[in-house]
Structure 1
């Protein structure tokens, strides 16, 4: 981490209990998927640039207001590498959960037009000095409770505090400065995939799971196919079966997240998507909140709208499950840290980087 961007120290004492979230229950179950913020905020399309005026209402819903301030030239996404935290929020009133069951850190370089995306298993033991021990997906909830109970915050300020603290925690964990955070609920995933007209993936095994309590009905057959929003959510969330198919690990789910991210990237760049930009942005605007200033979102879209799938390294962290935690493989973690840091070098990742992009990326 750069010496000119020190992170504040944290108290050892943290609140572990999840709070009960406001709002209604969403019906798609416990595993959420955050990839949409990366796609919409970063990738965009040519049509979006051509018809930029029509984006403004959705950008106002998604982005943080600029409040009259101008982003300095050297801080703009066109000129400076940036890093983002991408969180998928699981809100279940029946259990009081506010877990971020999908956590990703992504870094982008404007010089090389490349990106690295690292996914974190939800049950990971983060083992961060100065923080109370939680599973990875429980930190956002703990920060939310801290903001409400110890900082006396209310409403949107609680969510903003949890976002900021999660970003600082992951900055410390990965030894980089992370600039922004985006949070999306899983409803947005289904809406955007449907707005895209589906995604093309290869289902790695038969998947069958039914939960009448929340309407879940995952029923997928092994093989290459096009999935709609509900099916794609089932594909990335599938973990266990109650209908005779094989169970799946968190590591396999992380691999599927990377595959779907690549599939969404391909679909966003397809010719038929050009006319769908308004529907896609509207779906995300209704389901995502971020601390990225609106002007910077525009900068990001202008910079990365033509990024290729082959230019994105997907690195799912791996480890060993010993209940109740996943203990991360330190060699894989070191590789991920290096890859994220390389993307933040002004001139971009070295051509002879020891991080093997062929093994780090998910193949089509």
Structure 2
């Protein structure tokens, strides 16, 4: 079902049936960035191997999802699902809220991000403001101090850039839109990283990073898919954010998806005629 805060009435099976033979040409991958045992970044990538086009949907970590036994609590945030139900539970939840059937998953943690960024020689970004934040209770302790402006982000501070949302220092700023601002920065970073990776021998980059990720791709499957990306360019990758709005419910901040707009987006990505 495509459901949101109050459930839905659009059966995901209808989406699968309408894809038809195109399913053989498309791979849907759940990309998960981990902060220890929590899912800090959630993206769904849908790649058409025939047209060499890809779409990436970022799912805000505060997205409201229906969970048995919970109503309007922190356990209704999608980033709580992985911790309790693991990757299979999160895959099922993604399918429930988007109608997209997940074929493969890739989870990556601090070490994986560091390895990926170093494998392409760093990623160029334009940092919008001086990012300053500390958390001595984080494990390991977190100290973000990235000046504003264009620069190469290397593996050591890539996670700091990707995790930053707000400051706890006087005189510094954070994203005006909170997590949505961070998502925009993450998408820009990923696009820049892909553009850089495509200038390398992509299968070689994948092989270097593979030991640092958890996935149900085999190494041969991953390198084969990388080889099939010849012809893919950063310009043929479209980034989206799950449609919805930020709402305060029971004193907690949630991102509540818009069911109708989500359905329209998924149909457009999967090239389904309504």
Tell whether 2:167 aligns with 1:241.
yes
Tell whether 2:26 aligns with 1:87.
no
Partner residue of 2:253? 325
Tell whether 2:116 aligns with 1:187.
no
Partner residue of 1:175? 99
Deviation for aligned residue 1:111: 2.4
Tell whether 2:77 aligns with 1:135.
yes
Residues paired across the two proteins, number: 248
Residues 2 and 176, structure 1, Cα contact 8 Å, conserved in 2: no
Residues 109 and 343, structure 1, Cα contact 8 Å, conserved in 2: no
Where do 1:278-293 residues align within 5 Å? 278=204, 281-282=207-208, 284-293=209-218
Partner residue of 1:267? 196
Change (3 A) 1:295 1:343: farther
CA distance in 2, matches of 1:221, 1:250: 20
Tell whether 2:39 aligns with 1:100.
yes
Residues 315 and 336, structure 1, Cα contact 8 Å, conserved in 2: no
Change (3 A) 1:82 1:140: same
Deviation for aligned residue 1:238: 0.9
Deviation for aligned residue 1:236: 1.5
- TM-score, normalization: structure 1? 0.60
Change (3 A) 1:308 1:102: same
Change (3 A) 1:279 1:117: closer
CA distance in 2, matches of 1:167, 1:131: 20
The runs of 5 or more residues in structure 2 that have no matched partner are 1-11
State the secondary structure of the residue aligned to 1:286.
helix
CA distance in 2, matches of 1:269, 1:5: 31
Partner residue of 1:225? 151
Change (3 A) 1:277 1:170: closer
Task: Flag the structure with higher strand content.
Answer: 2
Partner residue of 2:90? 166
Partner residue of 1:121? 60
Tell whether 2:138 aligns with 1:211.
no
CA distance in 2, matches of 1:303, 1:287: 22
Deviation for aligned residue 1:131: 8.0
CA distance in 2, matches of 1:254, 1:229: 19
CA distance in 2, matches of 1:191, 1:309: 21
Cα RMSD over matched residues? 2.9
- TM-score, normalization: structure 2? 0.78
Task: Give per-residue Cα distances to partners, 1:90-132, cap 9 Å, x unaligned.
Answer: 21xxxxxx2111111111112221111111111221237x685
Change (3 A) 1:84 1:279: closer
CA distance in 1, matches of 2:267, 2:224: 21
Change (3 A) 1:140 1:258: same
Deviation for aligned residue 1:85: 1.0
CA distance in 2, matches of 1:197, 1:180: 27
CA distance in 2, matches of 1:138, 1:238: 19
Task: Give per-residue Cα distances to partners, 1:279-324, cap 9 Å, x unaligned.
Answer: 6633x22321112345543442232243111111111235214242
